[in-house]
Structure 1
Amino acid sequence: MNKQTTFSVAALLLIATTFAAPVVAADSKSPAAAAVPVTAAAAAPAGEISKEQAIEMALKAHPGEVSKAYQDSKKGIKTWEVKISGADGKKWELHYEIKTGALVSEEGK
């Protein structure tokens, strides 16, 4: 296998295992609200993530339309910030650590 194929296969396996992790509702009043990983490690791809990967993870957590995605910092950590107009009618703002892919913060308004 060449490097590109190896990377693609590894990325697909990583995505498949990342989203197979158990989730819990972030808001006990609304179980359908924000589902977040039980642990940051469960959702964290191994290695630096691209903007496209951050968008894919954010849309998996909150289906809708991405209005913005850009590099930012949150809690002193370099992140991808992804803003979504959710199918649930809420505006979502998610921050994923660029270095690890871990979810740093998630807010729904």
Structure 2
Amino acid sequence: MSTWILIFGLGLCTFLPRYLPLVLWGQRELPPLARTVLGAVPPAVLAALVVPAMLVPTGTTLDTSLENPYLLGSLAVFMLFFLTRRMLLSSFIGVLVFFAAQWFFGGV
């Protein structure tokens, strides 16, 4: 029984923060500052997820060497996307660079 209460409670904790702002402010126009701040949230969350995985692949020490396949693959994606603006191509080449570097340097 307590498992179902926990599942229901966690579902409520997930649902309410998403639903209440729509109900309370759904018809109102957001102020420009709020729109600017909310527009920066997705890139900030993505950076918070990607950068630690890229720079600390083992989970213990910072690795900024050029033998880090995660760093090399990420740099390839960033540079290719900056030059071509083609996300799928950049991601594909980045994965290839990652696996090639992992094979060449013997894995992490």
Q: Do Structure 1 and Structure 2 share a fold, with TM-score over 0.5? A: no
Point out the structure with the larger helix share. Answer: 2
- After TM superposition, the score normalised by the length of structure 2 is 0.32
- After TM superposition, the score normalised by the length of structure 1 is 0.31
Point out the structure with the larger strand share. Answer: 1
Larger Rg: 2
